[in-house]
């Protein structure tokens, strides 16, 4: 009796236990705690919060621990949790001009009001493995600076906009509520609100590659990093009953604003245009990539050629999501016996018909053996349907 | 009402931490609205606000959301993958619904009010009041002719389906046969071209004028579509190349069926193989039925059981 597919339930339950053991590793070592992950792997926590679309360092750390460090799996865990949460309200837009700055740099001006603030960055580290980290190392915290940061730290793009050198970003007429990608299916052409939401949760590797492709000539936008800033901002909620907004918390965000040249058109003279990137936590690579891709997707509306992959809204927006992509790529390990059997049946039939044809041809031409074998007929493309 | 002999196949306990059917009620309502529209326009792909589910995209999230939206406390659920109730993914989805709904589950096609499936339609004919829920990877039949969603939506609006016929014709010209063996395109109600999900074309005729309601869910692609009961579903073909289904020279090694879809089992590396029914429940039932012929009383009892189970089979979810 054929029983190979039986027993799935017990196997599944056993696989849970094996996974637990695998994740835990050597039980002689102390178990990772969530505060350790939150404090010592903040960049992993940032990425999981950004792509998970949920700002919660504790839950992100839990997801990272549960996923044994697989960040895409952690993103998935956080997303699946997030869908179950009720919506209590919408915050008023955060104001990054009022950010409590940790880092702020501009690549377009040597000095800007408020100054260039390096903050914590890997940029100028020499990438030499630091063997002193092999052991627990005691570090003395940096003494506070002699003078505090400037209270006013205007965004470089605001300065450019003041001179009308940068295209203004005005709310749409009537200031409609933004599209909500987590509640509505994407429809095309997508508005910039939907595009930015999509990019904000998009896979960092994909955004990086798409942004990179524009730099290498596939839809170049000649970008400059007008400003990158990282720090904490207040989140405010307008409470109807009170009639004013109250601060409900603070979140860390990274913002990148790229400016790109624009030749101008009948409505506007030559101007800089903006590509915008925003990420939960500290995620500079992600915010920069996002701003490049955002600008690339505006090519058509700005009258540019728009024929590169990064310019193609549909191509970019349908492929950013790593939860979708990871699931669909990996579903190929699910059984496909039935489809495969259907293909096998066809292939056998085609081959036997071909052999029969070759046999009759051989009878008609006795010297067939001396001739080169006929070129094999192309077999049908393995059906490109995925299932 | 749950037939008395439905075994509580899933020893999974209802987890009270989750809403019935996992999804919140407003999400279920959104899904039901989309499904009503889908039923009203047979074969038309209705966009819906697909949610992240606790199972990965590609594992049946569309079908799971559809089932979650229609299932009621009195439903009896069957889940199959590749025709079998025992494949790991089917087991997992059945356990999931056991955990979040606590409904009775079954392996019997006749006893089920909702059957969620991946890649097969059961061999046992479906009846009035039953609902099939299909897991759909790619809902768009024109996708391999035209990658852009904007374009394909326009093509559906204009019923511009000539490209698919050209593709099938090219297969015939090159290979002598239409080389599409599963996910074989159909026309629904004479209007919309539809992918029947990756069922083998062997199963396509079962869609035509079926008394059961067919619901299709594509979670990652965020589309649902439907074939209402007794609706025409025609597989594409040509007058001189009529649609045909797979046939085997062998019969099922277990139950002896000659008219079912067979899985090929490789037994060694010398080319020895045997064929068994892909629909394991049908196969077991058929094998048992062959033995029953020796015992007419038992057979009569089995027949009576079947009749009783088909009475009052209005799925609770459909009415909610």
Q: What is the ipTM of this complex?
A: 0.79
Instruction: Enumerate residues 298 to 317 of chain B having a beta carbon within 8 A of any beta carbon in chain A.
Output: none
Q: What is the 3-state secondary structure (H, E, C) of chain B?
A: CCCCCCCCCCCCCCCCCCCCCCCCHHHHHHHHHHHHHHHHCCCCCEECCCCCCCCCCCCCHHHHHHHHHHCCCCCEEEEEECCECCCHHHHHHHHHHHHHHCCEECCCCCCCCEEEEECCCCCCCCCCCCEEEEECCCCCCCCCCCCCHHHHHHHHHCCCCHHHHHHHHHHHHHHCCCCCCECCCEEECCCEEECCCCCEHHHHHHHCCCCCEEEEEECCCCEEEEECCCCCEEECCECCECCCCCCCCCCCCCCCCCCCCEEEEECCCCCCEEEEECCHHHHHHHHHHHHHCCCHHHHHHHHHHHHHHHCCCCCHHHHC
Single out the residue of A165, A153, A123, A289 nearest to residue A233, CA to CA.
A153
Of B48, B84, B137, the CB nearest to A386: B137
Contacts of A346 (CB under 8 A, 6+ apart): A380, B177, B179, B181
Q: Does pLDDT of B6 surpass 90?
A: no
Contacts of A34 (CB under 8 A, 6+ apart): A58, A61, A62, A65
Of A1, A326, A341, the CB nearest to B263: A341
* A185 contacts B48? CB cut-off 8 A: yes
Q: Does pLDDT of B277 surpass 90?
A: yes
- Chain A CA closest to residue B140: A385
* A186 contacts B222? CB cut-off 8 A: yes
Phi and psi torsions of A308, nearest 5°: -95, 160
Q: Which pLDDT score, from 0 to 100, does residue B45 have?
A: 98
Of B175, B264, B274, the CB nearest to A350: B175
Q: Does pLDDT of B294 surpass 60?
A: no
Q: What is the 3-state secondary structure (H, E, C) of A154-193?
A: CCHHHHHHHCCCECCCCCCCCCCCCCCCCCCCCCCCCCHH
Q: Which pLDDT score, from 0 to 100, does residue A38 have?
A: 97
Domain residue spans of chain A: 14-82, 91-122+148-170+180-330, 335-387
Task: Tell me which chain B residues have a C-beta less than 8 angstroms from the C-beta of A324.
Answer: 57, 220
**Rounded mean pLDDT, A263-289:** 90
Question: How far does B114 lie from chain A, in Å, by closest CA?
Answer: 21
Question: How far does B301 lie from chain A, in Å, by closest CA?
Answer: 26
Q: Does pLDDT of A377 surpass 70?
A: no
Ranges A76-85, A141-150, A376-385, B237-246: which has the least confidence: A376-385
* B182 contacts A338? CB cut-off 8 A: yes
> pLDDT tier at B292 (50, 70, 90 boundaries)?
low
* B149 contacts A314? CB cut-off 8 A: yes
Question: How far does A323 lie from chain B, in Å, by closest CA?
Answer: 7
Query: What is chain A's mean pLDDT, rounded?
Result: 88
Q: Which pLDDT score, from 0 to 100, does residue B302 have?
A: 42
Question: How far does A26 lie from chain B, in Å, by closest CA?
Answer: 28
**Rounded mean pLDDT, B217-232:** 97
Contact between A361 and A377 under an 8 Å Cβ cutoff? The reply is no
Ranges A166-175, A313-322, B9-18: which has the least confidence: B9-18
* B177 contacts A385? CB cut-off 8 A: no
**Rounded mean pLDDT, A20-36:** 96
Q: Does pLDDT of B50 surpass 60?
A: yes
* B181 contacts A339? CB cut-off 8 A: yes
Q: Which pLDDT score, from 0 to 100, does residue B308 have?
A: 37
Instruction: Enumerate residues 188 to 217 of chain B having a beta carbon within 8 A of any beta carbon in chain A.
Output: 197-202
Q: Does pLDDT of A143 surpass 90?
A: no
Q: Which two tokens stand for residue B65?
A: 């959301």
**Rounded mean pLDDT, A149-169:** 84
Q: Which pLDDT score, from 0 to 100, does residue B290 have?
A: 63
Interface with A, mutate which of B22, B34, B52, B260 (most A CBs under 10 A): B52
**Rounded mean pLDDT, B48-74:** 95
Of B144, B182, B274, the CB nearest to A339: B182
Per the listing, tokens 């200031």 go with: A175
**Rounded mean pLDDT, B117-140:** 96
Domains and CATH numbers, chain B: 25-142+180-244 (3.40.50.11310), 262-309 (no CATH)
Rounded Cα gap, residues A41 and A68, in angstroms: 13
- Name the most confidently modeled range: A337-346, A369-378, B209-218: B209-218
Single out the residue of B53, B142, B145, B137 nearest to residue B100, CA to CA.
B53
Q: Chains A, B: CB contacts under 8 A, how many?
A: 168
Interface with A, mutate which of B65, B182, B185, B206 (most A CBs under 10 A): B182
Q: Which pLDDT score, from 0 to 100, does residue B194 have?
A: 97
Q: Which residues of B are catalytic, by number? A: 43, 252, 255, 277, 283
Q: Which pLDDT score, from 0 to 100, does residue A159 have?
A: 87
Q: Does pLDDT of A361 surpass 90?
A: no
Question: How far does B302 lie from chain A, in Å, by closest CA?
Answer: 24
* A79 contacts B18? CB cut-off 8 A: no
Q: Which pLDDT score, from 0 to 100, does residue B79 have?
A: 96
* B56 contacts A331? CB cut-off 8 A: yes
- Name the most confidently modeled range: A378-387, B149-158, B297-306: B149-158
Q: Is the pTM of this model over 0.90?
A: no
Of B150, B183, B253, the CB nearest to A387: B183
Q: What is the pLDDT of residues A59-113, one digit of tens each?
A: 999 999 999 999 999 999 999 999 888 888 889 999 999 999 999 999 998 888 8
Q: Which pLDDT score, from 0 to 100, does residue B311 have?
A: 37
Interface with B, mutate which of A300, A326, A385 (most B CBs under 10 A): A385
Q: Does pLDDT of B151 surpass 80?
A: yes
Rounded Cα gap, residues B130 and B111, in angstroms: 9
Rounded Cα gap, residues B182 and B198, in angstroms: 5
Task: Tell me which chain B residues have a C-beta less than 8 angstroms from the C-beta of A330.
Answer: 56, 58
Q: Which pLDDT score, from 0 to 100, does residue B295 have?
A: 45
Q: Which two tokens stand for residue A136?
A: 């627990």
Task: Tell me which chain A residues have a C-beta less than 8 angstroms from the C-beta of B148.
Answer: 314
Instruction: Enumerate residues 246 to 275 of chain B having a beta carbon within 8 A of any beta carbon in chain A.
Output: 246, 248, 253-254, 261-265, 274
Percent of all residues in chain B with a pLDDT value above 90, rounded to a whole number: 73
Task: Say which DSSP state A387 is in.
Answer: -
Say whether residue B18 is in contact with chain A using an 8 A CB cutoff: yes
Per the listing, tokens 């029969």 go with: A356
Say whether residue B29 is in contact with chain A using an 8 A CB cutoff: no
Q: Which pLDDT score, from 0 to 100, does residue A110 have?
A: 87
* B179 contacts A346? CB cut-off 8 A: yes
Say whether residue B137 is in contact with chain A using an 8 A CB cutoff: yes
Q: What is the pLDDT of residues B8-44, one digit of tens each?
A: 444 688 988 889 999 999 999 999 999 999 999 999 9
């Amino acid at each position: 009796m054929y029983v190979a597919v039986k027993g799935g339930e017990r196997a599944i339950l056993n696989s849970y236990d094996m996974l637990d053991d695998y994740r835990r590793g050597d039980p002689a070592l102390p178990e990772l705690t969530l505060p350790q992950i939150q404090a010592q792997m903040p960049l992993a926590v940032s990425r999981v919060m950004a792509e998970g679309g949920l700002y919660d360092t504790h839950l992100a750390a839990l997801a990272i621990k549960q996923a044994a460090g697989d960040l895409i799996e952690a993103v998935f865990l956080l997303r699946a949790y997030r869908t179950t949460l009720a919506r209590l309200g919408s915050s008023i837009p955060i104001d990054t001009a009022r950010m409590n700055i940790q880092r702020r740099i501009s690549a377009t001006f040597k000095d800007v009001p408020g100054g260039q603030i390096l903050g914590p960055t890997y940029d100028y580290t020499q990438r030499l493995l630091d063997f002193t980290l092999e052991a627990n190392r005691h570090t003395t915290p940096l003494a506070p600076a002699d003078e505090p940061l400037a209270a006013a730290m205007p965004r470089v793009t605001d300065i450019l906009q003041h001179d009308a050198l940068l295209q203004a970003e005005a709310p749409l007429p009537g200031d409609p509520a933004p599209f909500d990608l987590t509640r509505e299916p994407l429809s095309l052409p997508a508005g910039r609100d939907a595009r930015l939401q999509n990019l904000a949760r998009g896979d960092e590797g994909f955004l990086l590659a798409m942004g990179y492709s524009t730099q290498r000539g596939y839809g170049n936008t000649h970008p400059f990093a007008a400003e990158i800033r990282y720090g904490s901002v207040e989140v405010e909620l307008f409470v109807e009953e009170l009639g004013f907004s109250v601060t409900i918390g603070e979140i860390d965000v990274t913002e990148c604003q790229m400016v790109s040249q624009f030749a101008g058109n009948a409505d506007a003279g030559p101007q800089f245009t903006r590509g915008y990137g925003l990420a939960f936590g500290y995620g500079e690579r992600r915010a920069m990539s996002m701003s490049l891709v955002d600008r690339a997707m505006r090519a058509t509306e700005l009258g540019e050629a728009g024929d590169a992959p990064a310019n193609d809204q549909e191509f970019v927006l349908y492929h950013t999501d790593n939860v979708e992509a990871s699931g669909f790529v990996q579903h190929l390990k699910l059984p496909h016996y039935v489809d495969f059997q259907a293909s096998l049946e066809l292939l056998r039939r085609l081959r036997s018909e071909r052999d029969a044809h070759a046999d009759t041809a051989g009878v008609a031409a006795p010297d067939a053996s001396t001739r080169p074998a006929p070129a094999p007929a192309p077999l049908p493309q393995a059906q490109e349907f995925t299932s | 009402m749950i037939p008395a002999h439905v075994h509580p196949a899933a020893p999974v306990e209802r987890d009270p931490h989750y809403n019935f059917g996992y999804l919140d009620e407003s999400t279920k309502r959104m899904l039901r609205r989309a499904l009503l529209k889908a039923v009203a326009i047979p074969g038309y792909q209705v966009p819906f606000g697909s949610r992240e589910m606790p199972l990965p995209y590609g594992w049946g999230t569309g079908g799971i959301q559809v089932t979650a939206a229609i299932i009621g406390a009195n439903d009896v659920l069957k889940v199959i993958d590749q025709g079998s109730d025992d494949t790991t993914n089917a087991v997992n989805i059945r356990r999931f619904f056991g955990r979040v709904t606590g409904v009775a589950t079954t392996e019997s096609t006749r006893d089920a009010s909702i059957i969620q499936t991946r890649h097969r339609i059961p061999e046992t004919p479906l009846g009035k009041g039953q609902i099939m829920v299909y897991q759909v990877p790619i809902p768009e039949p024109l996708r391999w002719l035209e990658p852009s969603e904007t374009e394909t939506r326009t093509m559906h609006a204009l019923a511009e389906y000539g490209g698919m016929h050209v593709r099938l014709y090219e297969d015939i010209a090159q290979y002598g046969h239409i080389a599409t063996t599963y996910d074989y395109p159909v026309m629904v109600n004479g209007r919309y071209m539809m992918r029947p999900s990756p069922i083998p074309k062997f199963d396509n005729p079962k869609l035509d004028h079926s008394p059961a309601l067919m619901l299709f869910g594509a979670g990652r692609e965020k589309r649902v579509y439907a074939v209402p009961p007794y609706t025409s579903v025609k597989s594409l073909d040509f007058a001189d190349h009529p649609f045909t289904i797979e046939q085997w020279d062998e019969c099922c090694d277990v139950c002896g069926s000659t008219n079912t879809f067979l899985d090929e089992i490789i037994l060694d590396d010398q080319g020895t193989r045997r064929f068994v029914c892909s629909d394991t429940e049908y196969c077991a039932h058929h094998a048992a039925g062959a033995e029953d012929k020796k015992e007419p009383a038992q057979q009569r009892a089995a027949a009576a059981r079947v009749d009783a189970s088909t009475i009052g089979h209005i799925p609770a979810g459909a009415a909610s």
